[in-house]
Amino acid sequence: MKIFSMLLSLVLAFAFLPASYAETTVDVIIEKTTYSYCEKLFYTIKVSEVTGDPAIIHIRDETGKGSSAIPIQISKLENPVPSLVPFEEEVFPLGKYYIDVEYAGTKQTAEFELVDSGNVCIPAWIKQLAYYWVTDQISDVSFADGIKFLIEKEFIIIPETKTESSSTETDIPDWVKINAGWWIEEKISDSDFAQALQYLIKKGIIVI
């Protein structure tokens, strides 16, 4: 009976040990498994406890080429990690990618695939040019010339558009500037703003 009581005490003692004695777990919950150009990666790092350690992230492609270590501060059990920049064709080749996370001695990997869905993509840095125009720091002519240069150099890829007629008009309609403001604020997509640029080409305001 005495031995039974001792064993029972040991079982109860282990049952109520602090959670810190349990192995810390980490998981990567990815928003979706397929992304396309112009979209932004979004995932969540989920942990079983907050240890004060950062999570170390590496993102690599299927050839093994990857990013340098990215430390992510873990302040709660679920930590969203939104990307600040979208996938761009000049930087990210198509194919599978892997998100490797290491936290408190444990590791986990999630994967996604980057595909070409035919989205119209405008590099994020071009928004600076649009911002100068929307805030009247440059003229309509300067903005049109800048967009023309970027299209000709293929920094901006939009569907082939034919000019309906030659025009000496240089004033850009106000609705295009409104669209540019919405695009800067990410209220409309690259494809939506590209339609405004196509309009300028059709009307001969931008001649390619």
Q: Residue 3 domain-assigned?
A: no
Q: Would you state the pLDDT for residue 70?
A: 93
- Tokens 């106000």: give the residue: 174
Domain boundary among 115, 137, 164: 115
Same domain, 88 and 130: no
Phi/psi region, residue 204 (left: phi>0; alpha: psi -120 to 50; beta: rest), is left
Q: Which of these three, 90, 115, 140, is where a domain ends?
A: 115
**Rounded to 10 degrees, what is the CA torsion of 103, 96, 33, 187?**
100
The pLDDT tens digits of the residues spanning 21-35 come to: 578 999 999 999 999
CA distance 143 to 163: 18
pLDDT of residue 160: 66
Q: Where are the beta strands (DSSP E) in the chain?
A: 26-30, 34-36, 42-47, 55-61, 70-72, 78-82, 95-103, 106-115
Quote the CA–CA distance of 71 and 100 in Å, as a whole number: 12
Answer yes or no: are the C-beta atoms of 84 and 1 closer than 8 Å.
no
Confidence of residue 13 (pLDDT cuts 50, 70, 90): very low
State pTM to two decimals: 0.63
Higher-confidence residue of 152 and 137: namely 137
Contact residues for 32 (Cβ-Cβ < 8 A; gap 6+): 112
Give the whole-angstrom CA distance, residue 206 versus residue 123.
Answer: 19
Distance between CA atoms of residues 37 and 19, nearest Å:
43
Which domain range does residue 62 map to? Answer: 22-115
The answer to whether residue 13 is domain-embedded is no
pLDDT digits (tens, 9 = 90+) for 53-70: 999 999 999 998 988 999
CATH of the domain at 97: 2.60.40.1930
Would you say residue 190 lies in a domain?
yes
